Amino acid sequence: MGLFDFFKKKESAPEAQEALDKGLEKTKDGFFNKITKAVAGKSSVDDEVLDNLEEVLVTSDVGVSTTLKIIKRIEERVARDKYLNTSELNSILRDEIQLLLSENNSNDFRQFEYGNHKPYVIMVVGVNGVGKTTTIGKLAHKLKEANLKVVLGAADTFRAAAVDQLKLWGERVGVRVVAQAMGSDPASVAFDTLQSAVANGEDVVIIDTAGRLHNKIGLMNELGKIKQVMQKVVPNAPHEILLVLDASTGQNAFEQCKQFTEATDVNALAITKLDGTAKGGVVIGISDQFKIPVKYIGVGEKIGDLQLFDKKEFVNSLFK
């Protein structure tokens, strides 16, 4: 059984589904109110309905290029099936979004195995305020529940609050945190964390990094240096570069994803704060445009409210 199968078992399916449904409430309400208005007084899916639907998707932060793909698919279905009534629109839209997501490089992480790497090293990146440290804490909690030994590295040394917050999460979850004085070299913290993880036989290392989106070259150099130094201890580290994005920032999340993917080899995404926003469409747009797997979604405040992203469950929940 893979580590992530364990996650699925641990949070029983009804509980996880309930949290997901609740977390997407604001997005669903906004989305369906707009769709209802888009088809008001119409019996069939015509050009006007499609124009209105295009506007609904764009204003739900699905993103322009992803919206155009979805509309094109629906246009093709209308042409093929000759007549589609507006009552079928929800199920058609759901099917097309699911199909679009399944074509992306975003496999659901049911069979994820960290076992080939010990320690498995995760470097977490993202701007300040997106819920980076909270995501690290919640992920550490999940991993610890899976009986893994986890250590956190406080390499965001530019903000005293970031180090303190990570230490608080370490205490809350019961995992070790490696930290140095504020203003220390982030690469030095990462190096120490990996060295101690190897010495202690720990399974997973999670490294927090500074959340400043200063110029891209500076960001690239800093993250590159941290990676280089980590590889002196664990070749090929980090195995995962997890970019944390805040769904409630809408189109800003797209821009942040663009900046960070140009600065470093992001290979996994966590999209947080879905419960606090009507902009859950960003999950669809970002997954489609960047072809990077969305691995986790944050659907609430509770420690267990970081979920593995399951495309089918997500879209079904959105269209319930």
Residues annotated as binding site? 126-133, 208-212, 272-275
Q: How far apart are CA 143 and CA 124, in angstroms?
A: 15
**Annotated binding residues for GTP:** 126-133, 208-212, 272-275
**Residue 133 structure tokens:** 């440290």
Extract long-range pairs of 233-239: CB within 8 Å, 24+ residues apart: 233/191, 233/194, 233/195, 233/198, 234/117, 234/119, 234/121, 234/194, 234/198, 236/117, 237/121, 237/194, 237/205, 238/121, 238/122, 238/123, 238/207, 239/114, 239/117, 239/120, 239/121, 239/122
Q: How far apart are CA 108 and CA 296, in angstroms?
A: 10
Collapsing DSSP to helix, strand or coil, 320 comes out as: coil
E-assigned strand segments in 49-195:
120-125, 150-154, 176-178
What is the DSSP secondary structure assignment for residue 24, as one 8-state letter?
A: T
**Residue 7 structure tokens:** 């996650």
Please answer whether residues 264 and 216 qualify as being in contact, where contact means their C-beta atoms are separated by less than 8 angstroms.
no
Q: Please report, for residues 2, 106, 160, the alpha-carbon distance to residue 114 in angstroms, rounded to integers and kept in the order given.
A: 8, 17, 31
Residue 78 burial (CB count, 10 A):
18
Q: How far apart are the first and last CA of the chain?
A: 31
Tell which residue, 54, 25, 99, 61, has the closest CA to residue 318: 25
Q: How far apart are CA 117 and CA 27, in angstroms?
A: 38
Please state at what angle helix 13-23 crosses helix 25-39, rounded to 10 degrees.
60
**Residue 74 structure tokens:** 């629906």
